[in-house]
Structure 1
Amino acid sequence: MSLAALNEAPSGPQLLTPVLAAGCQGVVPTASQVAQIGRRAAQIRECPPTELYDLLTASLCGRHPDLALQALHDLGLLAELLPELDATVDFSQEAGRRHKDVWAHTKIVVWQSVPSPTVRWAAALHDIGKVPTRRFLPGGRVTFHGHAELGERMFERGPLRRIAFPPAVGQRVAELIRWHLRPGQYDGSWTDAAVRRFAREVGPALDDLLNLSRADITSKRPGKRKRCLRQISELAQRIRALAAEDRKPKPLPAGLGANLMAALELPPGPHIGVLRRRLEQLCEAGELEGGREPDYYIEQIQTRELLADVEIEAAPKRRRR
């Protein structure tokens, strides 16, 4: 965008042209553009919300989303469009440690994230809840308790109302902001039930959430970075494995053990488990049908003489009182 164009027709959408150039082409706004647009930054509010979404999304999904964010800030447009994000500029996560600046961290996360609208928007806004939740503790520690949940509410009350997000995109961005810490809390001690609960809770947002979590790893320590990435990959692998297991049809009907004991006059004991495992193996090998009635499996045990080499343990006698 030329200065002449700005002088002749300073409309809202035109003010975002340098941001689009930064995000897609890596062209940083000139000092003249910064000064000229900065004086007219408030006019960006005249831009239709649908155009705001389209232009900002195109900028964030380009090859240089970090430059797009910086251009928004330098041009004074970030404070007008996303004041929640503008508040993170020069906002430190740790007392006296500038390299822990939330704004710098956010730009790295956006740059590292996959170029999808939901993930890029969530990457840009995932830490906006840190500003109102920061608390300093004795010893120099800093906490941000509840910043993910508050960040989701801030997104819904602010950016979601100013910018015309498609409903599905807006909902997914809100979910990603709320859940962005969850994958990083995973460790190998999670039970299969816990992994299933996590996958069930996040539902269709799972892939986007894992992609956001990978991008959110910005540690400069190679060992920590590898460890965090490995944990997320392990979580993803366990979710896939459990999902595949759950999709498998259960070959044997529930309560088959009781049916076997009644029909074959067997006492309870380990031999019932042996019979079940043999039936399961035959089902997996395709020699028996899965999901049939108990009588089918009882007949197969008798026909195939599956009891022939099974050691039957007598039921223990009850002590008289």
Structure 2
Amino acid sequence: MNENTVPLIETRNLKKYFKVKKGLLHAVDDITIKIHRGKTIGVVGESGCGKSTLGRAILRLIEPTSGDVLFDGKSIISYNKSKMREMRRNMQIIFQDPYSSIDPRKTVAEIIADFMFIHKTYKTKKEIWNKTAELMDTVGLAQRLANAYPHELDGGRRQRIGVARALSLNPQFIVCDEPVSALDVSIQAQILNLLMDLQEQYKLTYMFVTHNLSVVKHISDEIIVMYLGQCIEQAPVDELFSNPQHPYTKALLAAIPEPDISSRNKRVEIIKGELTSPVNPSPGCRFAKRCNYVFEQCTREDPPLINLGEEHYCACFLHKNESSRLG
């Protein structure tokens, strides 16, 4: 990766806290990432780690508590509603649940055309409907379904509607928020292959949010692992899978099922211990209570994200003396 090129998406110390009865819930806590044009960064972690919140904060669907978000080198964090509306043409999202994210009272064609009418991307209605038909072909929706309603379709077709709608404004960046987790396995493969084909065809940049490590390995160029709002490891996909460094990442990878009868006696390391509360967290590693390698410093200080080389970063005191901090 050429460090001199300006990334399409960049976050700097991005934070999102939610007020709850007991204090502040640290959903996203000090995340700094770069996503270069035409690349896919996968965001993985268990439920509640802040993956989806990170994607929504980048798009400003929810307002960050602090930090900065840059699009093509320009900060968008201070944009007003009018300017952010213009930015929506460049930044879109595909939601996890294809049914709840689309209007059940509109037909397939109306849903796909909706954004184009709102943003007036074409001069005439005919041009919009022609583009809608083209998008249906692009995502594999038969033209006979143009006047169908969402409840008449299966999950795979509904998700294709969501993909077509996201593409309708010709965006450069799309957050894919667990777009296949609600689908059957065979349909998951179809949607994943569709997303990869579209990325190549339209030169798209993705943030792919998922809890499925097998899926993220298939589609991503780089992966960040999140735990309770923090990025604890970041590396190119092959490097992360072949050389995981954080104890949590190692446990996640060890839990991936292997379709090989010879692996049935493989020892699986189970993560034990109490889950740290993300509400007003105390200083220290948030994985410490579940880690087999914990020592005193882990409970007193937040481990910095350090560079282990080969664009591999890890937030763990086991590696504190091996390299410099992430710059």
Could you tell me the TM-score, scaled by structure 2's length? 0.23
Higher strand share: 2
Higher helix share: 1
If asked which structure has higher relative contact order (CA below 8 Å, sep 6+), I would say 2
Higher Cα radius of gyration: 1
